[in-house]
Amino acid sequence: MKFLLFTALITLTIIALLIMILNLTSKKTFSDREKSSPFECGFDPKSTTRLPFSIQFFLIAIIFLIFDVEITLLFPIIISLNFSNIMMYSMVTSIFIIILIIGLAHEWKQGALNWSL
């Protein structure tokens, strides 16, 4: 117990020491409006530097991520077929896929899948 406490104390001391050294030796940058603005031959830029962001693309990307994670949850169900009976496997898989289809139908009904400009 004392050895574990001693090891934790040494580890925390080393971490604190490294953080202090990093803060002392790190490069400090002070940015102002002139240095952070884009440079166009010495003139102010004629247009904004940020492009407009499409909310439709963001929603489609989030829906894709959600359904992608749901697909990865199907893999353990496939592996569990070896350890469970076919009736229980069919019921769990059917309920899971029905929940996914209901979610997709809800997104479709809400209009989140329409790519309108």
Q: Could you state, in chain order, the average pLDDT of each consecutive group of 10 residues for the chain (117 residues)?
A: 90 94 79 63 61 75 83 81 84 88 87 70
Does the predicted model carry a pTM greater than 0.75? no
What confidence score (pLDDT) does residue 48 get?
Answer: 62
Concatenate the DSSP letters of all residues of 1-54 into one string: -HHHHHHHHHHHHHHHHHHHHHHHHSPP----HHHHS--BTTBPPSS-SSPPPP
What confidence score (pLDDT) does residue 16 get?
Answer: 95
Burial (0-12, 13-18, 19+ Cβ within 10 Å), 60? middle
The domains of the chain are located at 55-110
Give the type of residue at 44.
D
> Is the CB of residue 93 less than 8 Å from the CB of residue 77?
yes
